[in-house]
Structure 1
């Protein structure tokens, strides 16, 4: 009887967790999933969550997401609400930089053994996870990618090195996926020409060579798009580039608009080592890794961005305002467009009920994921109060919790974040914006779109209970629209390409009445596919250009009320 009651209680928790998957029209990076606690640094007593190197595929109408060292994987029906699967059989230590491929909706293939020596696993029931292994072993692979072409020919690609290139080889699918033919070097890192492949934060490390890793192949309109990551997962400039070919083993040509998935500025940075999948409505989406890198370098989160192919066949990923709310994959006619909801909480005054070890409340509004507020207790007496300094219409909030001495390792169940967010116009009379006080959801980066937008000036976070020993929040982000004026067009925008043609110095007149600036650039005035958000400065030293490539740059200012007009593009010669 006791076990029956426990089982019923478990089903109740599952029901309530699913019930919290209320359909929303929008999402916000980083993705809010129940990230696994890593065991890499358990010998040093360092506890942290991480999710990286996502391989996302669709199989029989359901999306599956395989993530490094997660002790299982996730599924979703809409690319929005992800639920964890404990498969019957899986890697004891979790997969590493996993690969996945759906073969004609009959078999789902996966591989990614942390040792680098691996069989290809397969199943026709990934929800159950009764994985079987082909008897052949592929040796010395890191960051593998699987691809089976329309003619049934299978391939494996791999690479994670600052010396060796991305490589590929044919596999005989009918003979246990045994390798056949020669190993083919496809392309390597070329930091002398590709500025964005240089190592370090903002590409500033002049000693170490950047890594090239994480291949993923997408076929579109008869062309093969080999995506790859560089220069290092721990940096704000971790990104994905692409080479294009007429056949899976090349020869490959470097895309002139590289990197295609790049997010160096804003709240959480990085958009590298990912995968591309066709989502709802036949639209492409790119999933990637973002860098948190506070407890250790490998502390990461996941993101997704709408992805396109332009009329000239160039692949690009829209990371513009990439950690602000965007429309959901299944929102009709939107394909992940930016909602236009602005950040209302940036650098606004904030008070807390308590703080510990000098981790003060102002850290929750600074748009820096590596700073955080630490409360003196983890109970329902803990609060945060933000003054937006003027009334605004609130559309959504995002609560980003922080792992401070969490002492959790591996896959941990029963982690629930419980809190409330309230609003007020006068600081006295409060109403509910988001109620998670009785939730059964593991939500370390909880994003809540309000059912009905509310007008408020004051925002209050009320803690109920979080599942970690300490209550720590990196940022409490409030999105909506203010009632004031938008910034004016930025004046005197100038771009000076440096003698090292990989670099450019950008500067502009400081604009009154703005929070920050959004730099956009590309290889043509109508191909400004890359962007970089800048807070608190009116200059940027950009080190991610390709030698021999002409560029166009433009800038826009933003504040709580919206965006300024985009400046006229400035041409910068190769």
Structure 2
């Protein structure tokens, strides 16, 4: 992947053509509606409220498969599944035939039939998933976190594993005999946190306490097999779903039975920083054009350990066969999947975040949940008004006139009371802009919206010039007060990107090469930094987004792997990639 210094106005050819990305948005007079062209993570799905207390939303352990001309998305605890033509607009399907409450769904297309399983439920099939009608096949296996894989030769395999410091295993299934296991299962690989720093538990990969017990070892889970150019890529998740460092690693083999070799570029799916973090227990799939994507579990884990969301990221295989994913600015606006250019993993639309840390006001606030929490780039925190009354509002002063391109409204569920998938859940609101904080213009009117949009993403039909933006409640669902995790505004500060990326240094821990510290020189024209690294100068596939600090400690390196680092700079007007790459050898192995 190559980079150049860019302002957000020149990033993609799609930018002159502005589209809305949310149904039921009332456009400004004279604007013509068009199909969506950008999106932002987390995906704006009607995430189900769980059926038990506390009231909270959840979706996790996702799988997407292309069946016919439709994509089908399955996720744990969703009460059903979704289908879509374009990976953007999703229609929900309820099925009374599936034991849908089981965790970790797995799907497979085999002989023009869609097969489904999950933890310990047996196997189901359908030829018409839109109907919600499924047929029970058999229950010849009972495993945790299953993955079904149909090879090119017609043979079928099941991979599985869900245990503390455990293993990923596999078995072959007999497709001609109710998918019964053939022979004995085999162990593909085991957890190895002593070598793989990213497998260590905790938000910082330094271990974490479970009750009164401190542990470093991971939960090894979430297997997924992908075959590409004759190589088998067996993916797995670690160290635990509640951590910012939740990620996917990969082993490769020339046979579905192994032996499997660890990829030193692991974890290939990794997003430890940003508005929403985590990218583990995922599914890799090819779209209609043959380009690969990764649908991943992302972390909130505040009301409950399993409070989670879903994110969609581009993945691919480089010329060395290395499976890698792009999470750079991965929760900023991205080009729609059908507008992705060839096999490029660069889908960033080029619009920068304008609202971070800016001065905020509100109609009312609950103590400790002030309006500043809606502009802190942290999905785990939120602002809450005192009531759910129409007219409660949240506003932000960007500090200067900016060009506004897109808005993401991330609602919170403070003191919600809803349990289960309930009819009538819909957010209704208005967005306005102002140049002086006194005279307001309508940006978007969602007061007639009838859909559940917990992470509503709106691409404006035309760019707006604004200094102030105000969000006003019309109706807040789920029984709690009007509350917002973050009101995120994207576009350009109409200035210049940072003049240069910073000088920096890397210090690998000689006593434990799983750790390193990166330090750089801060500059006035920079709001934040991106630390990118990887196993070769042309393979800097991992990234951390850092604001307000001049050093970063990482603890997720592979002990015996040499790395290379660079540091980029960004502000509200663009992004300047680093021009210097420094090596960081695995010192203990020398």
Matches of 2:34 and 2:472 in 1, distance apart? Answer: 21
Please report how far the alpha carbon of residue 273 of structure 1 lies from its aligned counterpart in structure 2 after TM superposition.
Answer: 0.3
What secondary structure sits across from 1:339 in the alignment? coil
Aligned to 2:411: 401
Report the Cα distance in structure 1 between the residues aligned to 2:170 and 2:525, rounded to whole angstroms: 52
CA root-mean-square deviation: 1.5
Q: After superposition, what is the alpha-carbon deviation per residue over 1:216-246, rounded to whole angstroms, capped at 9, x for unaligned? A: 1111111111111000000000001111111
Contact 1:511 1:557 in 2 (8 A): no
- What are the equivalent positions in structure 2 for 1:134-533 lying under 5 Å apart? 134-139=137-142, 141-205=143-207, 207-208=214-215, 209-331=217-339, 333=341, 337-469=347-479, 470-498=481-509, 499-533=511-545
Deviation at residue 380 of structure 1 after TM alignment = 2.1
Following TM superposition, by how much is the alpha carbon of 1:358 offset from its aligned partner in structure 2, in angstroms?
A: 2.8
Aligned residues of 1:87 and 1:127 also touching (Cα < 8 A): no
Of 89, 104, 107, which aligns to 2:97? Answer: 89
In the TM superposition, residue 342 of structure 1 has moved relative to its aligned partner by: 0.4
Gaps of 5+ in 1: 1-16
Aligned to 2:19: none
Output the CA distance in 1 between the equivalents of 2:178 and 2:24.
43
Is 1:107 matched with 2:117?
Answer: no
Give me the whole-angstrom Cα distance separating, in 1, the residues matched to 2:24 and 2:439: 29
Counterpart for residue 550 of structure 1: 562
Contact 2:193 2:199 in 1 (8 A): yes
Counterpart in 2 of 1:59? 67
Q: What is the CA deviation profile of residues 479-517 of structure 1, one whole-angstrom value per residue up to 9, with x for unaligned ones? A: 001112222323330110002000001111122122211
Q: Is the 8 A contact 1:490 1:508 kept in 2?
A: no
Aligned residues: 548
Q: In the TM superposition, what is the alpha-carbon distance from 1:265 to its structure 2 partner? A: 0.6
2:85, 2:577 → 1: CA distance? 37
Deviations 1:461-496 (A, max 9, x none): 111111122211010000001112222323330110
CA distance in 2, matches of 1:448, 1:95: 33
State the distance in 1 between where 2:165 and 2:390 align. Answer: 53
Classify the secondary structure of the residue corresponding to 2:289: helix
Distance 1:33 1:563 in 2: 30
For each residue in 1:150-204, what CA deviation from the matched residue of structure 2 results, as whole angstroms up to 9, or x when unmatched? 1111111100112321000000011000111111100111001101000011112
Corresponding position: 1:123 with 2:126:
yes
Measure, in 1, the Cα distance between the counterparts of 2:34 and 2:452: 15
| SS in structure 2 at match of 1:513 | coil
C-alpha contact 1:245 1:251 (8 A) present in aligned 2: yes
Query: Partner residue of 2:578?
Result: 566
Q: Contact between 2:374 and 2:485, CA under 8 Å: does it hold in 1? A: yes
Shift in Å, 1:573: 1.1
8 A contact 2:502–2:569 mirrored in 1: no
What TM-score does the superposition give when structure 2 sets the normalisation length?
A: 0.91
Q: Once the 2 structures are TM-superposed, how far is the Cα of residue 18 of structure 1 from its aligned partner? A: 6.0
- Taking structure 1 as the reference length, the TM-score comes to 0.93
2:18 aligned partner = none
Give the C-alpha shift of residue 434 in structure 1: 2.1
- With over 3 angstroms needed to count, the CA separation of the structure-2 counterparts of 1:475 and 1:19, relative to structure 1, is closer
SS of match in other structure, 1:202: coil
Per the TM alignment, residue 261 of structure 1 is displaced from its structure 2 partner at its CA by 0.5
SS in 2 for 1:532: strand
SS at match of 2:373: helix
* 1:330-388 deviation line (CA, Å, top 9, x unaligned): 11527561111000000000110111233111111111111111101112221111111
**Cα distance in 2, alignment partners of residues 97 and 332 from structure 1:** 29
Q: Which runs of 5+ in 2 are unaligned?
A: 1-21, 26-32, 209-213
Please tell me whether the aligned partners of residues 263 and 532 of structure 1 are also in contact (alpha carbons under 8 angstroms): yes
Residues of 2 paired with 1:550 and 1:176: CA distance? 47
Separation in 2, partners of 1:222, 1:356: 57
Which has the bigger relative contact order, CA under 8 A and spacing at least 6? 2
Q: 1:349 to 1:66 in 2, by over 3 A?
A: same
2:43 alignment partner, SS class: coil
Aligned to 1:8: none
For 1:95-147, what per-residue CA distance to the aligned partner results, in whole angstroms no more than 9, with x for missing partners?
Answer: 3101001124x10000014xx2x3111000100121111134312x1000001
Aligned 8 A contact 1:486 1:561 in 2? yes
* In structure 1, distance between residues paired with 2:502 and 2:109: 51
Are the equivalent residues in 2 in contact too, given 1:306–1:317 (CA < 8 A)? yes
Task: Give the structure 2 partner of residue 14 of structure 1.
Answer: none
User: 1:88–1:128: 8 Å Cα contact kept in structure 2?
Assistant: no
SS of the residue 1:415 aligns to = coil
Q: Following the alignment from structure 1 to structure 2, what is the Cα–Cα distance between the partners of residues 421 and 236?
A: 31
Q: CA deviation at 1:256?
A: 1.6
2:24–2:446 Cα contact (<8 Å) kept: no
Q: Deviations over 1:377-409 (max 9, x none)?
A: 112221111111111111100011111121111
Residue 22 of structure 1: CA displacement? Answer: 5.5
| Displaced runs of 4 or more, over 6 A | none
Greater alpha carbon shift after TM alignment, 202-211 vs 367-376: 202-211
How do residues 22-41 of structure 1 correspond to structure 2 at under 5 angstroms? Answer: 23-39=35-51
Map of 2:11 onto structure 1: none
